Structure 1
Amino acid sequence: MKKALRIIGIILAAILVILLLVYIFILNYPKLKKGPKIGKWYRVSDSVMKDSEGGSYHALFKKGSENKVMIYFAGGGVSVNEETARDDTYNTKLVKPDLLANTTMNMGGLASDVEGSPFENWSMILFPYATGDFHSGTGEFHYTDKDGKEKILYHNGYTNYTAAMKQIMEKAGIENADTVLVTGYSAGGWGAAILADDIYTNYFPNAANKNLFVDSSMALFDDWHDTAVNVWQSPESITDNIRTDNLTMDMLRHLREKYGNDIHLLYGTSTRDGDLAKVQNYFQNGIMDVDESVADKYQQTLKEAIPQFKELNVSLFIWDGLGYYDDPRNMTSHTIIAMPVVWLTFEEQNKSVAEWLTDAINGKLNDYGLDLVDKVYEKTENK
């Protein structure tokens, strides 16, 4: 027994050492300074930057050798009222954004240092998610928690983004990038759509090649405008463009009207996205849950949105074949750009999402998988 306990102690000690090394060498980035080294990740922080609980927040930056920039918004839920604030449906605290950011950078997706990636030598600006506001808020949301205590949720996403961008543009020497990609997944996809105009207006107005790729970020909600104005307290430059129950479409419409064909607009999603279907169910029925009938409705909503996307000349990539976590029911995975499957060639499309995106950046815009919205999925038994 003593020998077994000693072995367990040694194993636990080794695990603690590994965790400490991970924190020191992976999570704990040096602060951005003037003239950053190429290929090195830096932390970008400021006293005005904070997470939803008022703790510190930082963005991340890596300078590339090419004159190209990817601005990447991570996802993680949304807070639109007291109920969602109490349920903690968003990422908070410093460690969670760091862990999420490292997952984003190191698990093999678009922002990862993948050998041979077309983005391998791009500069990267990464915004972890910690404010529940699609990276767009400037306000304080007062609510009562489950224990009856008065609390404040700091919707500080836009403030964080602005402070970080100011520092990066002053210190990194990337202001004259010729190619810029704004992207994000889930809540970060909404953030990318919301902030793309701000990025191209205030930071990269002279970029000859402007691109936006929104990954899995669409849900119909009658109160988007009210939420942005009164809950998140987003700037008027954002809220003035929210006019319907489809926030994503509103932002894409604004971008197309302002930039014409000088910007490439892309949207990707799976056919029966379990997480988006769940959120849609909450917005419409007040139930944060999902089953196959709810997924059916999401698939129909996606089908009905396609003509709107095409009216705005948005390139589409619709996919399936990846399950909703380990759920045996017929629902599909949520988001793709943070995962290695972004490089996977889908059989139906004979194309990977990364290839489709790269083609679009190079001016070859195409649609893939649109017929999947009509695909009939067999219902599973014994649900």
Structure 2
Amino acid sequence: MRKISKALKISIIGLLSVIIIGSFAIYAFVIKRPTAIPEIVDTKPYEWNRVELGEKVQSSNGSGYHLLTKKGENRNWIIFFSGGGVSWDQNSAAHPIKLKNLLSGKDSGNYFPNIPFYLLSLLGGMFDNKNPNNPFREWNIVYIPYSTGDFHVGKHDAEYKKDDGSSFTMHYNGQNNVQSSLEWIYANVDKPEKLLIAGESAGGFGSAFWAGEISNHYKESEIYQYSDSSFLKSDKWPEVVDKEWHADFEKTFGFAAESDLIGSAFKGNRRLLPANIVLLQSYSLYDEILIHFQNKINDYTGPLDEKNISDWSRQMRQSVKELASTLPNYYYYLTDYDRNNKGTTSHTFSSQKTFYKAEQDGVKLLTWLDDIINNQNNYSVGSKFLEELDQ
């Protein structure tokens, strides 16, 4: 879902300019590249490493797929599911995210069809071990990239047609990619002291879906599941996950998909996960990217106006309120931080500069996460936004 922001567009254009100029030395410096390694023991602390996973993995366009890891200096681990858009039918699949669309000012597209070559250059926030304010700077990280448009759950090669009538195959291969990633993780990550199963945007769905499988393997760990900016409501979801993505969803994950897809995952997980697991969500109150995608999925072609923005925000807050009233060990962070003149707010915190800047009612997002995960001080932030629903 992560529609490319203005800042990201500028950075990508800058990188492309370097390529056009042909300055290979500068290009190699700007674009961070992971080192290929077979096992975590072969890695140096705080360096990104690339893990090849075998024959079952691939991106939606048939290109390669790999896992990313970064060794820390304690026994705590983050398993992070990347975001990057969604494909829900033939038309959406026919319009992947393309750099040339960014350069021409067109809609950037719906999903990443492969792992972007500039991915590591985008991973700040909780992945920045050089920032002394990062409460996770010493943690180990496994990063599961996302390039299949299926919230990490698809298992189907769909035959589609482009706008010009030509055919293409959409590889909804998220399920195989995650399962292959988990095989490597289980073989290399032994009994984390603390385990944070997290994801942002599309990856927030993925982290919630796969939390049951992962927590079942690491029963002795202190586990937290965190979905950052992952709310898209549509009556289409039950059909999309099984008829488009062929996820065999209820059998695979233990609960049925509902129109509030992330809500159904959190409610289902409360029955399936260990009783002591802590469930976390964070939302920007008027998330422009999530509103954009919910409009597209639900075939809304009207303007992005105050009513459209408020409708999405109210639906999201209703979902959070229901979860907060029914689930033990569930905590949320809601903020209208940095609302712009369009009346919208930015998308995701985990990998962004807003991870350090976002603040609500005197509490920064990173302080909230630090308090809960590192200091066992559990609380929610932004309750006034739920109280407004009753006014």
TM-score (norm 2): 0.83
Residues of 2 paired with 1:125 and 1:66: CA distance? 14
Matched residue, 1:320: 336
1:265-298 CA-to-partner distances (Å, cap 9, x unmatched) read 0111011111111222223344396333211101
Matched, 1:357 2:369: yes
Aligned pair partner of 2:86 in 75, 78, 90: 78
Aligned pair partner of 2:238 in 218, 225, 234: 225
CA-based RMSD of the aligned residues comes to: 2.5
Matched, 1:92 2:113: yes
Displacement of 1:215 in angstroms is 0.6
Matched residue, 1:6: none
Aligned pair partner of 1:196 in 206, 211, 215: 211
1:329-371 CA-to-partner distances (Å, cap 9, x unmatched) read 111111111112212261x421111111122223221111121
Residues of 2 paired with 1:374 and 1:364: CA distance? 23
Displacement of 1:85 in angstroms is 0.6
- Structure 2 gap ranges (5+): 1-16, 97-109
Residues of 1 paired with 2:130 and 2:266: CA distance? 30
Matched residue, 1:5: none
SS in 2 for 1:266: strand
- After alignment, is 304-313 or 261-270 more displaced? 304-313
Displacement of 1:63 in angstroms is 2.1
- One-letter amino acid matched to 1:159: N
Matched residue, 2:157: 140
Larger radius of gyration: 1
Matched residue, 1:245: 259
Residues of 1 paired with 2:274 and 2:216: CA distance? 14
- One-letter amino acid matched to 1:251: A
Matched, 1:366 2:382: no
Displacement of 1:241 in angstroms is 1.2
Displacement of 1:34 in angstroms is 5.8
Residues of 2 paired with 1:260 and 1:71: CA distance? 18
Residues of 2 paired with 1:125 and 1:110: CA distance? 12
1:296-351 CA-to-partner distances (Å, cap 9, x unmatched) read 10121123223312112320100112246xxx3111111111112212261x4211
Displacement of 1:131 in angstroms is 0.5
- One-letter amino acid matched to 1:44: V
> 4+ residue runs of structure 1 moved beyond 4 angstroms?
9-14, 373-376
Matched residue, 2:136: 119
Matched residue, 2:10: none
1:51-82 CA-to-partner distances (Å, cap 9, x unmatched) read 11000011101222211110111111111111
The within-5 A match list for 1:39-188 is 39=45, 40-45=47-52, 46-88=54-96, 89-94=110-115, 96=116, 98-104=117-123, 107=124, 109-116=125-132, 117-170=134-187, 172=188, 174-188=189-203
Matched residue, 2:7: none
Are the counterparts in 2 of residues 278 and 288 from structure 1 also a CA contact under 8 Å? no
Are the counterparts in 2 of residues 32 and 42 from structure 1 also a CA contact under 8 Å? no
Displacement of 1:218 in angstroms is 0.8
Are the counterparts in 2 of residues 279 and 288 from structure 1 also a CA contact under 8 Å? no
SS in 2 for 1:56: coil
1:148-180 CA-to-partner distances (Å, cap 9, x unmatched) read 11111111112112112212332x3x2211210
1:88-118 CA-to-partner distances (Å, cap 9, x unmatched) read 2111224x1x4224311xx3x0122233322
Aligned pair partner of 1:343 in 343, 353, 356: 356
SS in 2 for 1:315: strand
Change in 2 beyond 3 A, CA 1:289/1:167: farther
- After alignment, is 43-52 or 29-38 more displaced? 29-38
Are the counterparts in 1 of residues 88 and 297 from structure 2 also a CA contact under 8 Å? no
Displacement of 1:37 in angstroms is 2.7
Are the counterparts in 1 of residues 209 and 253 from structure 2 also a CA contact under 8 Å? no
Displacement of 1:205 in angstroms is 2.6
Are the counterparts in 2 of residues 49 and 159 from structure 1 also a CA contact under 8 Å? yes
Displacement of 1:240 in angstroms is 4.5
SS in 2 for 1:278: helix
Change in 2 beyond 3 A, CA 1:59/1:11: closer
- One-letter amino acid matched to 1:130: S
Change in 2 beyond 3 A, CA 1:317/1:206: same
Residues of 2 paired with 1:222 and 1:52: CA distance? 24
Residues of 1 paired with 2:190 and 2:220: CA distance? 9
% identical aligned pairs: 24
The within-5 A match list for 1:23-38 is 23=31, 26-33=32-39, 35-38=41-44
Residues of 2 paired with 1:151 and 1:186: CA distance? 26
Residues of 2 paired with 1:155 and 1:288: CA distance? 30
SS in 1 for 2:127: coil
Are the counterparts in 1 of residues 60 and 147 from structure 2 also a CA contact under 8 Å? yes
- Structure 1 gap ranges (5+): 1-8, 377-383
Residues of 2 paired with 1:35 and 1:140: CA distance? 35
Matched residue, 2:9: none
